[in-house]
Amino acid sequence: MARLSALQLYKLLPKTNCGECTEKTCMAFAMKLMERGVKAEHCMQLKGDKLKKLREVITPPVREVVIGKDEQAITIGGEEVIYRHDLKFFNPAAMVLDISDTMDEKTIKSRLDFVRNYKYERVGKILRLDGICLRCATNDKEKFLKTVKTVCQNFDKFIMLCTLNPEIMDAALEITKDRRPLIYAATNENFKEMSELAGKYNCPLAIHSENLDEIGSMTKTLSNAGFTDIVIDPGFDFENLSSVINKLEILRKAALKDIKEFSFPVMVSTVGLKNLNLGENAAVFEALSISLCLNRFVSLIAFHFNEIYSVMETLTLRMNVYADPRVNPTTEPKIYTVGTPDENSPVLITSNFALTYFAVAGDVESAKISCWLLVMDTEGLAVLVALAGGKLTADKIKEAMDNSKVENLVKHRKLVVPGYVGRIKGAIEDATKWEILVGPQDSGGLGDFLRKNWTGGGLEVKTK
Site residues for ligand SF4 per CB under 6 A: 13-14, 16-21, 23, 26, 29, 43-45
- Cβ of residue 135: shortest distance to ligand SF4, in angstroms? 46
Toward ligand SF4, which CB reaches closer, 55 or 411?
A: 55
List C-alpha distances in Å: 167 to 197, 297, 391.
Answer: 10, 33, 64
List C-alpha distances in Å: 85 to 82, 88, 89, 276, 298.
Answer: 9, 6, 9, 36, 17
- Cβ of residue 34: shortest distance to ligand SF4, in angstroms? 13
Toward ligand SF4, which CB reaches closer, 44 or 388?
A: 44
Toward ligand SF4, which CB reaches closer, 29 or 184?
A: 29
Angle in degrees, 0-180, between the axes of helices 241-256 and 212-224, rounded to the nearest 10: 30
- Cβ of residue 16: shortest distance to ligand SF4, in angstroms? 5
CA–CA separation, 113 vs 369, rounded Å?
36
Find, among 432, 402, 405, the residue nearest to 416 by Cα: 432
- Cβ of residue 15: shortest distance to ligand SF4, in angstroms? 7
- Cβ of residue 46: shortest distance to ligand SF4, in angstroms? 6
CA–CA separation, 349 vs 338, rounded Å?
12
Q: How many CB atoms lie within 10 A of CB 428?
A: 25
- Cβ of residue 440: shortest distance to ligand SF4, in angstroms? 53
Toward ligand SF4, which CB reaches closer, 50 or 396?
A: 50
Toward ligand SF4, which CB reaches closer, 12 or 290?
A: 12
- Strand partners for 342: none
CA–CA separation, 189 vs 164, rounded Å?
9
Toward ligand SF4, which CB reaches closer, 2 or 18?
A: 18
Burial string for 382-403 (b: 16+ CB within 10 Å, else e) reads: bbbbbbeeebbbbebbbebbee
- Cβ of residue 27: shortest distance to ligand SF4, in angstroms? 9
First to last CA, the chain: 60
Toward ligand SF4, which CB reaches closer, 37 or 426?
A: 37
CA–CA separation, 437 vs 453, rounded Å?
9
- Cβ of residue 53: shortest distance to ligand SF4, in angstroms? 14
Toward ligand SF4, which CB reaches closer, 39 or 119?
A: 39
Toward ligand SF4, which CB reaches closer, 41 or 56?
A: 41
Q: Name every residue whose Cβ is closer than 8 Å to that of residue 156 and which is 6 or more positions away in sequence.
A: 72
Toward ligand SF4, which CB reaches closer, 57 or 438?
A: 57
- Strand partners for 338: 371
CA–CA separation, 406 vs 244, rounded Å?
56
- Cβ of residue 51: shortest distance to ligand SF4, in angstroms? 10
CA–CA separation, 19 vs 92, rounded Å?
32
- Cβ of residue 65: shortest distance to ligand SF4, in angstroms? 26
For CA atoms 254, 255, 258, 262, the dihedral sign is positive
CA–CA separation, 169 vs 175, rounded Å?
10
Contact 440, 407 (CB under 8 A): no
